[in-house]
Chains A and B, each alone.
Chain A
């Protein structure tokens, strides 16, 4: 039975016109705000005609002084992204591998724990985290990077899914047993055998964590920290153009990250299919 006849039989596949209508509608929903933002960022101060001044102005020394908070927010967000990814790699990844190989019965428990943050609104999370951060500040000081402890929790559901999908696709237990029988120690197995085969999942988890951290506003705002989103809000109150330009750049960066994740996924699927 051909693919088309199966689809017709079960009525699962929409017709060509329906597909195009859905594509155009969804495309417009995404494209209109982005095009509007681009159009706005190119508009002149008096609203007549277009100019690149708002874009080129960002590079001037004067802007560096004016938007110091914004550039600090960008720096902070990248630092937070790096520390959050480190937390994912150092804490979550080894835990998941350990549970997968040695304690498979705990897998459901771990999955439940990792999924919880997605069900808790950020505002509720902050209420819970506020007293905890009182202790964190006493122990580690009030540096911006400590916010990564909270972000490490918020990215758990996304990072868990990305890594688990890869763990399920690779015969981790057999590979590690084969390596042990050949004389490899656990650190060697992790570094030389498992990580190269979990590369796609780990990279996807890292990229999606970066995207989540760059877009985070609520926790940073309520805990009085400066990151990209809080700085954008602040900048937007005095200069709406620059806020829109940075929002566009953040969108473009997240888009590139998602493209890379998608590419990694397709490479993985092609390789499995061979």
Chain B
């Protein structure tokens, strides 16, 4: 194995857009004792692509990222970066940049020294090192904080410095391990958008781990939904939302109502209405259909229901209703309609195609 960290010459352009590297996980297996955390994962990421690994706690998304970084050794399979198998290459030789969930700035160094650290490891000359570190801090809008220590920065600022530190070495791959989870909601959205802007500008291949589906759908080119150590589905945010391949994906990505239904001649029969079936056809029989809240409307006639609660969400309102069979549904509608708990309402299925899985 000849993998070494590339050193850059004094004339190398700093933080110039790159073509990014291809990343492939081929049959990757990771065991913790008897527990299999990654069960033969296959994932192929194109140069410059932004892929999010999405899933609940314990699904293996962080393990997959750590395997890619070399912080976890794998028990089987191959990890290829630009075609080179790096499974046995130690982390410090993989040429990756990583931002962690917890604040990871070195407390005894200033922001500038933190950003310079990776360049120092690559033996970049002092002048160029400082120039590139300042440029990286400018990129995340923190050049004026260069001389501050970690404890003098807010959480959002610390993560931005960590991002600059990860990017300043122009790594082949950028790995983001839930970098926004410790931040408050507003800063989170700002930094999320900033990460996407910088990633697009630099064209760096990026893997982003999150358990927040809104975050994943907002920034990623493709999202891989993971569960119990396997990738359940990978696709664009639109594909995942519109055509979830499994009940788990439908449940996890966006909000879905699970409704008892029947397959009849390839159509889904729900509350007397026949809807188109998304994805693979299913044999006739009982199924669970997944209906999005925005595909149900409150009307003057239709399926009778009683309002349980109603929440104002800014540009829309979400109302929870109970049907006569005691099942609960969520409905998304405009803010002008203001149902009160206890109100009798009628529902109409708008007729959008739905996904379904056989009921066991």
Contact = CB atoms under 8 A, between A and B. Distances in A.
A274 B175 CA distance: 30
Contacts of B44: none
Contacts of B121: 182-184, 188
Dominant secondary structure at the A interface? helix
B35 interface: no
Interface string B40-73: 0000000000000000000000000000011100
Contacts of B69: 181
Contact of A182 (B70, B103, B118): B118
A184 B90 CA distance: 10
B104 A180 contact: no
Interface residues of B, number: 31
Interface in B1-38: 5
Nearest to A183: B121
A271 B151 contact: yes
Interface stretch (A38-46, A155-163, A169-177): A169-177
B118 A174 contact: no
Contacts of B92: 180-185
A27 interface: no
B102 A181 contact: no
A183 B151 contact: no
Contacts, number: 68
Contacts of B117: 179, 182, 184
Chain A: interface size category? 20 to 34
A193 B100 contact: no
B102 A171 contact: yes
A185 B91 CA distance: 9
Given A183-B118, A188-B121, A193 B104 contact: no
Contacts of A174: 100, 102-104
B122 A175 contact: no
B106 A177 contact: no
B298 interface: no
A6 interface: no
Given A180-B71, A180-B91, A274 B151 contact: yes
A174 B107 CA distance: 12
7 contacts: A170-B107, A177-B104, A178-B98, A179-B117, A180-B92, A181-B175, A182-B118
Interface of A: 170-171, 174-175, 177-185, 188, 193, 196-197, 271-272, 274
